[in-house]
Structure 1
């Protein structure tokens, strides 16, 4: 008796399958945020292409503000994705700032990813993502409320808030449909 196992899509197939197609709006808006065990830090809407100079500008404007806001003192470590394509200028900038950076392998491979493991990872990832997207959307809404009456800036922030909540809703639907796909396999 043959069993039917649905294979998770990869590559460009994610743009043509449910529920994976629901994360396409994520590509429309980019947010940078940070958090610590003591609370949430700054949230920055990235309005242009994220290049190394823009990334350095965002870090420079937000990290130390967050450290002061959360009263972390000198006992904090920054963690980032450690992308092997991180620019030399960003590496030099981070070194100049003398921030303590968590060293961990970039894109470390998972050695035994079987189809059932991939599905459970997919469900877990999207479940956690819903929580973080909702947190980011609420923070962005809170910041936007404080800008009430600032004309164009307020209008742009309202648009960003609406997009953030739409992306959160789509991620939530994706998480539910991923869980159903996982359960049915």
Structure 2
């Protein structure tokens, strides 16, 4: 059951999370973030540190998005008004992280393509990382608007 929303919490709770914008974008963030995670894990990247960063970003964002989604469903954000600020900060950071992943993956995919190899997994990972970046950026923009109108 959904918890009653406090007047200082513009973030919905309960099943309203599935029906409100931008929280509904979290479903796309799950899907495309999970796809990036799977594709990066199965791709060939010549620099181990680069693959480590790509894996860190995809796993970190997937886990934090999952935790936020569950916490919003439970209604924890109704206990404090700082959740809107945290939501904004997280989605800005996630969008920046995924942008770095998308650019790095696209750069290495270009390197492979020029070298004569065509890595379809890397191309798909790059495309899905750009989609995840777009979703996180849209979520961040609408979270900022919600934060500004609520304060």
8 Å Cα contact 1:122-1:178 kept in structure 2: yes
Runs of 4+ more than 6 Å apart: none
8 Å Cα contact 1:23-1:167 kept in structure 2: no
Report which of the two has the higher share of helix: 2
Q: Superposition RMSD on alpha carbons, in Å?
A: 3.4
Q: Which residue of 1 aligns with 2:18?
A: 15
Q: Which residue of 2 aligns with 1:31?
A: 37
Q: Which residue of 2 aligns with 1:66?
A: 49
Structure with larger Rg = 1
Report the TM-score, using the length of structure 1 for normalisation: 0.51
Taking the aligned partners of 2:87 and 2:148, their CA distance within structure 1 comes to 12
- 1:62–1:12: structure 2 CA closer, same or farther, 3 Å change rule? farther
Work out whether 1:160 is the aligned partner of 2:125: yes
Q: Which residue of 2 aligns with 1:126?
A: 91
Structure 2 unaligned residues grouped into runs of 5+: 1-6, 51-58, 61-76
Equivalent in 109, 112, 117 of residue 150 of structure 1: 117
Larger relative contact order, structure 1 or 2 (CA cutoff 8 Å, min sep 6): 2
Deviation of 1:113 after TM superposition, in Å, equals: 7.9
Deviations 1:32-91 (Å, cap 9, x if unpaired)? Answer: 8xxxxxxxxxxx7135xxxxxxxxxxxxx999x439xxxxxxxxxxxx98xxxxxxxxxx
Aligned to 1:31, what secondary structure does the other structure show? helix
